[in-house]
Structure 1
Amino acid sequence: MRYDDQSALIAMRLKYGTRLGLAILIAEHLQKFAAECSENSVIVPVPLHRSRLWLRGFNQSVLIGRELSRSAGIGMNHDVIFRHKPTPLLRGMSGTQRRKTVDTAFALRADARLAIAGKSVLLVDDVYTSGSTSNACARLLKKAGAEQVLVFCWARVISDFENG
């Protein structure tokens, strides 16, 4: 859905307001798209750096992915990629700044190829802003042999340029 005041409120309440039940709502909306995916699919949530995970106490993408896995009957692997570099909050950064910030923030686990080679990966995140995070993760997943990477997110920022 389009990122607007309503979708932002839901994403922010999940991410910062610890309204964890909202992960179920988000997963329910994504489930209809998961039904169209191949049987050879796996859900991979966008990882948080361990320092952010310690501060927040949870990864909203893992919560959404877990609910989507349960409702769609698709396995989830949250250990394929990890965020080895801490990054500042991306909010307020331009697309170029975001790309530079996250471009090398992620890495593959040693056994990633075994987990995803030849599979369709459903990369789960809460909000798609510039595509920098998704693209950085997708590059690694493709490098590990993923057949395709599909981005599953709650809301997407649509710029005025994209609106025509």
Structure 2
Amino acid sequence: MDASTDGQAPPRANPLRAALLACYGVVSHAARTALDVALPTLCVACREPVAGVGVCADCWTKLSFIERPYCPRLGTPFVYDPGTNMLSMEAIANPPAYQRARAAVRYDDVAKVLVHALKYQDRTDLAPAMGRWMARAGTELLDGADVLIPVPLHWRRGWSRRYNQSGALARIIAGQSGVPIVPDALRRIRPTRQQVGLSKNDRARNVQGAFKIATERTSRIQGRRVIVIDDVLTSGATVDACARVLLRAKAAQVDVLVFARVVDTMKAPI
């Protein structure tokens, strides 16, 4: 699977292969073929060799793209079509601060591998395909949006990782949609624990008071329709905290666009 168009698998760059090609410069077709044989491209999910670049066919079929019908507020998929503008029970019982959320895929095994590779393994080469899938999933959000704002890392975590995965995805979406990105509008003013393993209530407490608006960026937010960009939506605590700060700064509306979201099928409408 190539990553040249929407709906295709993300690339898997072999670092050693790329280094050799850089050293040799322009190589002949025969030499390039020899490199392909000696250093085959691997599927990022299962590590099996693949033809070309990307995710192997087997792993590709395991990616679960989120399509309609879904809750118009939370973007969680319905098990059947309940009708136009029908909200999920969760959206009714516990509405978030943001207006709408959309995700490209369910956070399943293959999606988890992609997210972790981008987030922790310096696999920034995955961002273009993931960002394109997000732009496709967020078409209705991006139509009329004024600005994209990635969820920020605390400076200590940013220093150790060297880049913000949400920012990398936001740059791709900005290029696809034409909606400008303001990467430094939100700041994480205190370090927070990793959300993994925390309960929903603990997640909310963990990010409470963790974000603030950069004073010099207030004018980019006031009266604007903002989309918060992140890699994964689990309980929604992080993006909800960001949305509350943005709304207090007089954003006209806040939506959320992520690559993957956790879907609890037990909470789907019946």
- Please name the residue that 2:136 is paired with: 32
Query: Are 1:11 and 2:92 an aligned pair?
Result: no
What are the ranges of 5 or more consecutive residues in structure 1 without an aligned counterpart? Answer: none
Query: Are 1:115 and 2:240 an aligned pair?
Result: no
1:21 to 119, 125, 138: 125
C-alpha distance after superposition, 1:7-44 (max 9, x if no partner): 11110010011110111111101112444334452000
- Preserved CA contact (<8 Å) 2:149 2:229: yes
What are the ranges of 5 or more consecutive residues in structure 2 without an aligned counterpart? Answer: 1-104
Cα distance, 1:162 vs. partner? 1.8
Tell me, in whole angstroms, the C-alpha distance in 2 between the residues paired with 1:109 and 1:76.
14
Relative to total residues, which structure has the larger strand share, 1 or 2? 1
- Preserved CA contact (<8 Å) 1:38 1:120: no
> Greater shift after overlay, 81-90 or 106-115?
106-115
Tell me which amino acid in the other structure corresponds to 2:155: R
2:244 to 139, 143, 146: 139
Tell me, in whole angstroms, the C-alpha distance in 2 between the residues paired with 1:69 and 1:102.
26
- Please name the residue that 2:150 is paired with: 45
What TM-score, normalized to structure 2?
0.58
Identity within the alignment, %: 35
Tell me which amino acid in the other structure corresponds to 1:29: W
- Preserved CA contact (<8 Å) 2:145 2:227: no
| Structure whose alpha-carbon radius of gyration is higher | 2
Q: Which has the higher contact order (CA 8 A, sep 6+)?
A: 1
Provide the secondary structure at the position in 1 that maps to 2:215: coil
Cα distance, 1:161 vs. partner? 3.6
What TM-score, normalized to structure 1?
0.94
User: What root-mean-square deviation, in Å, do the aligned CA atoms of Structure 1 and Structure 2 show?
Assistant: 1.4
Tell me, in whole angstroms, the C-alpha distance in 2 between the residues paired with 1:132 and 1:84.
16
Q: Across the two proteins, how many residue pairs are aligned to each other?
A: 164
- Please name the residue that 2:209 is paired with: 104
Tell me, in whole angstroms, the C-alpha distance in 2 between the residues paired with 1:94 and 1:40.
32
